[in-house]
């Protein structure tokens, strides 16, 4: 079995890592995650750790938070 870093219980932005889903034939760990919007998704570990995947897709790419002006 391939060696991997256990990410169970970690939070990456809006994603909470629930459990290991599978290890690909290339030895990459894929994790089942629960998003803050309660959707679940499968994400590769390197995408979580690099910050490339931050949600299940509920946040559109390039979306910037609104500035609050008084």
Which tens digits make up the pLDDT trace of 7-38? 899 999 899 999 999 999 988 999 999 999 99
Residue 45 to residue 53: CA distance in whole angstroms: 10
State the DSSP code for 44: E
Label residue 59 by pLDDT band (50, 70, 90).
Answer: confident
The rounded mean pLDDT for the chain is 86
% of the chain beyond a pLDDT of 70? 87
Is pLDDT at 1 greater than 60 in this prediction?
Answer: no
Q: How far apart are CA 60 and CA 37, in angstroms?
A: 14
Whether residue 69 has pLDDT greater than 90 = no
Three-class SS of residue 33? strand
């Amino acid at each position: 079995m391939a060696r991997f870093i256990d990410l169970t219980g970690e939070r990456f932005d809006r994603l909470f890592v629930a459990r290991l889903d599978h290890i690909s034939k290339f030895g990459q760990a894929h994790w089942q995650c629960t998003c803050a919007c309660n959707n679940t998704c499968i994400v590769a570990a390197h995408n979580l750790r690099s910050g490339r995947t931050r949600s299940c897709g509920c946040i559109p790419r390039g979306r910037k938070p609104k500035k609050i002006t008084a």
